[in-house]
Structure 1
Amino acid sequence: MDKETGIKFGVLDGFTWIRCEGKGSFMQSPALKECTKQRQDEGEKYFVIDLQACTGMDSTFMGFLAGLSARVGRSDGWVHIASPGDRNRQSLEDLGLDCVLEISPPEAPWRGKADEIRQGLQPYVGKRLPGMSERARHVLEAHRTLANTNEDNAKKFAGVLQVLEKQASDDPETEG
């Protein structure tokens, strides 16, 4: 079943641009994961995540972004955050993710072209709705990534991880 995702994307010369519209949450991030995985499978290793129209982000969404950065970084790729706005920038910085994501880098190849790029984006339509077990695995993976990012996050998300890991151990399909 296809579904609208709140994500628009475009493949440009040298990178993939992904625009998140509405709240970046545990509901939207599986579609973002699907989109980026599809592009990575096609050889992409450079991503711009456009947060201009993103009204806020939860920890799962931010954990996914950090995980994406780690994955593409292993192949000398990068993740740039475009137009985060003050609130989203602060959320990323509060979790120390400005150390793993490049937020509005001044030397970015897309600088000065964002409005033009946004006009050519197409809606990303998800291939399927993820099941509960898949969503639970995604949330757990995102929070593990956050906890592994720095010591403050490890403390901050210890309780959440404990609950998520307990749920995963109770459901063999969610083990990851």
Structure 2
Amino acid sequence: MTSPAPILVGNIGNLFWMRVDGKGSFQNSVQVKRCFQTMIEKGTRHFVVDLERCPIMDSTFLGTLTGAALNLREIGDGEVCILNANARNRQLLSSLGLDHILDVDNDGSRHQVERKQVCDELGKCNENASPDKVEQAEHVLEAHEALTKANEANASRFKDVIEFLEKEVRSRAVAVA
């Protein structure tokens, strides 16, 4: 298996900026989730996910971004803004109905000043500890549940995946106990 794409992060003005340097996938989505959780706990409410170097995202990664946006909605404040998405990623966001949950910048007009600062400011995310198999399975399940919560039409798309993952999580929990 190839190593997960690095996630670069930093504060740019009042924004927490996250750049995906490769494929957004289940392999780096736990790291992204932990990063969002840490920053939300610290009071950060405005996030940018920069997809300029991200050719594609899988459903787990998309669910992770969606879960963060839904958490901010529950808090009642904040946003997850998607910048520099290529046509394929924009189509994924749109077809899953996530462009109503995530603030997708389609015309490149958002955060112009911060875009110029970003290259000098980003460093690797410190949430590097690899998840164990139970945490990974639980995370993939949560990500897919977030996709169905964000858009009811996604329930039929991910029904089988969710059922499989629920069984997987139960069996792994029993094996650990």
Fold match by TM threshold 0.5: yes
1:4–1:126 Cα contact (<8 Å) kept: no
1:111 equivalent in structure 2? 112
- Structure with higher helix content: 2
Residues of 2 paired with 1:109 and 1:84: CA distance? Answer: 13
Once the two structures are overlaid, the 10-residue window that deviates more, 159-168 or 137-146, is 159-168
Partner of 2:48: 48
Using the TM superposition, name which of 43-52 and 68-77 deviates more. Answer: 68-77
Which residue number corresponds to residue 138 of structure 1? 139
Kept after mapping to 2: 8 A contact 1:10/1:121: yes
115-124 or 130-139, larger mean C-alpha shift? 115-124
Instruction: Give structure 1 stretches of 5+ with no counterpart.
Output: none
C-alpha contact 1:9 1:19 (8 A) present in aligned 2: yes
For these two proteins, the number of residue pairs brought into alignment is 172
How far apart, in 2, do the equivalents of 1:12 and 1:173 lie?
44
Structure 2 counterpart SS, 1:69: helix
Runs in 1 of length 4+ with deviation above 4 angstroms? 105-109
How far 1:111 moved relative to its partner?
A: 2.6
Identity level (%): 35
1:2-31 deviation digits (Å, cap 9, x = unpaired): x98601111122110000111000001111
Q: Give 1:115's aligned amino acid.
A: K
Tell which deviates more after alignment, 85-94 or 130-139: 85-94
- SS of residue matched to 1:154: helix
CA RMSD of aligned residues (A): 2.2
User: Which structure carries more strand by proportion?
Assistant: 1
Query: Gaps spanning 5+ residues in structure 2: where?
Result: none
What secondary structure does 1:18 align onto? strand
Superposition TM-score, scaled by structure 1 size: 0.89
Aligned residue number for residue 90 of structure 2 = 89
Aligned-pair distance for 1:136? 0.4
Deviation at 1:74, TM superposition (A): 2.4
C-alpha distance in 2 between matches for 1:107 and 1:4: 27
